[in-house]
Homo-oligomer: A and B are copies of this chain.
Amino acid sequence: MGKMIYLDNAATTRTAPEVVEAMLPYFTEFYGNASTVYEFGGKSKEAIAKARETIANAIGAKDNEIYFTAGGSESDNWALKATAEAYKSKGKHIITSKIEHHAILHTCQWLEQQGYEVTYLDVDENGLVKLDELKKAIRPDTILISIMFANNEIGTIEPIAEIGKIAKEHDILFHTDAVQAFGQVPINVDEMNIDMLSTSGHKLNGPKGIGFLYIRKGVKIRSFVHGGAQERKRRAGTENVPGIVGFGKAVELAVSTMKERTDKEIELRDYLIDRVLKEVPFTRVNGDRKNRLPNNINFCFQFIEGESLLIMLDMKGICGSSGSACTSGSLDPSHVLLAIGLPHEIAHGSLRLTLGADTTKEDIDYTIDAIKDIVAQLREMSPLYEDYIKKHN
């Protein structure tokens, strides 16, 4: 491979070398099962306890409120399905938004098949959940509100503290999918009145296949994966010690570098957005310009289609995404872009670039030039552009 500019950090990140370093001893040296009697297993147990503490501190939680899972999707499934089950005698109504990740949306659809009722809140043109609509949607049988902390496609950060407050006032559980936000923006579960929170290790330079669900003490959630007594009997399965250790290390790094890293990302992000908006016609930015993840850029380029754009960027060594990487197997345009009011043909022309700690000004300049070239080239090829030009000449 030649030059590579990796701008798909929302899909996954490079595992930090320090993280791998921290994990290594737990593969071949301290490989003991953490749930054993002998001292050797105690090494694993201690390592898990340390990671749990680091992580709990990062979100203002207590150690025993952190439950390790296999990632964001499992955390989301667990949070929704198992609270739905535990609170069904109270009610069967759940509120979420139209721009959640599929791990939430498909879980909600499954819950609907099980007899639950789900309200999918609209968002405004920037992807912000409307608080008054949230309030209106609340019913006596509402048991759960699940709104993502920040959107994975357009980077919009939701008013989580306000939502938490509303949920608390109505005595309704509040879950947030913080898979994209964790490590990028400060989170405090107490101040924000969050009862459950999902994360995934590989989104913040930790390993893939590990995540956690924060569960506030007192929440009567049931198990999702039944079996052994791990994770205080709530999540069965031999503990993924290296994964947990790596996650802990990644969180430690993400927290300690957050301010500096995101300040730099914000600067590069806004520089790229501003230049592309100025230099590429028929372009729009998706997502809120202010309440936005530090590393997220999302455009729609009219008259062209995203996959072609991605392949041509790839030919120049730039890795980006169009809609969520998780759904690239699908042919539908992004449900998020549709929800913020874009027509299908515009939604098809989206490009998401998500920066990382290593992204440089040079990378960004190179990328801007590449975008300009490629968009022009694809428009040259586009019958839609032809029609538009003919109509307006």
Contact surface of A with B, Cβ cutoff 8 Å: 1, 4, 6, 8, 11-17, 19-20, 24, 27-28, 31-33, 35-41, 69-74, 76-77, 101-104, 106-107, 109-110, 200, 202, 207-210, 223-230, 233, 236-243, 307, 310-311, 313-314, 319-322, 324-330
Alpha-carbon separation in the docked complex, A351 to B57 (Å): 39
A77 in complex: contacting residue of B226, B307, B325, CB < 8 Å: B226
Which residue of chain B lies nearest to A71 when distances are taken between CB atoms in the complex?
B237
Q: Is the CB of B27 within 8 A of A20?
A: yes
Alpha-carbon separation in the docked complex, A31 to B4 (Å): 13
Q: Is the CB of A240 within 8 A of B209?
A: yes
Alpha-carbon separation in the docked complex, A106 to B236 (Å): 10
Which residue of chain B lies nearest to A326 when distances are taken between CB atoms in the complex?
B228
* Min distance, Cβ A75 to any Cβ of chain B, angstroms: 10
Alpha-carbon separation in the docked complex, A133 to B40 (Å): 42
Q: Which 10 A-B pairs have the closest CB atoms?
A: A209-B240, A228-B326, A103-B227, A70-B70, A73-B237, A106-B226, A15-B27, A38-B314, A229-B329, A11-B33
Contacts of A69 in B (CB 8 A): 70
Contacts of A210 in B (CB 8 A): 209
Alpha-carbon separation in the docked complex, A240 to B242 (Å): 13
Using A6-B40, A14-B27 as known contacts, list a sample of 5 further A-B pairs with CB atoms less than 8 Å apart, ordered by residue number in A: A11-B33, A36-B328, A74-B74, A103-B225, A230-B326
Alpha-carbon separation in the docked complex, A136 to B187 (Å): 57
Q: Is the CB of A227 within 8 A of B27?
A: no
Q: How many copies does the complex hold?
A: 2
Q: Is the CB of B8 within 8 A of A33?
A: yes
* Min distance, Cβ A16 to any Cβ of chain B, angstroms: 8
Q: Is the CB of B11 within 8 A of A31?
A: no
Which residue of chain B lies nearest to A246 when distances are taken between CB atoms in the complex?
B27
Which residue of chain B lies nearest to A36 when distances are taken between CB atoms in the complex?
B325
6 A-B pairs with C-beta separation under 8 A: A17-B28, A35-B328, A70-B70, A103-B225, A208-B239, A209-B240
Contacts of A6 in B (CB 8 A): 32, 40
Q: Is the CB of A31 within 8 A of B12?
A: yes
Which residue of chain B lies nearest to A102 when distances are taken between CB atoms in the complex?
B227
Contacts of A19 in B (CB 8 A): 27
Q: Which of A27, A31, A208 has its CB near the most chain B CB atoms (within 10 A)?
A: A208
Q: Is the CB of B238 within 8 A of A329?
A: no
Alpha-carbon separation in the docked complex, A320 to B322 (Å): 52
Which residue of chain B lies nearest to A236 when distances are taken between CB atoms in the complex?
B73
Contacts of A1 in B (CB 8 A): 39-40
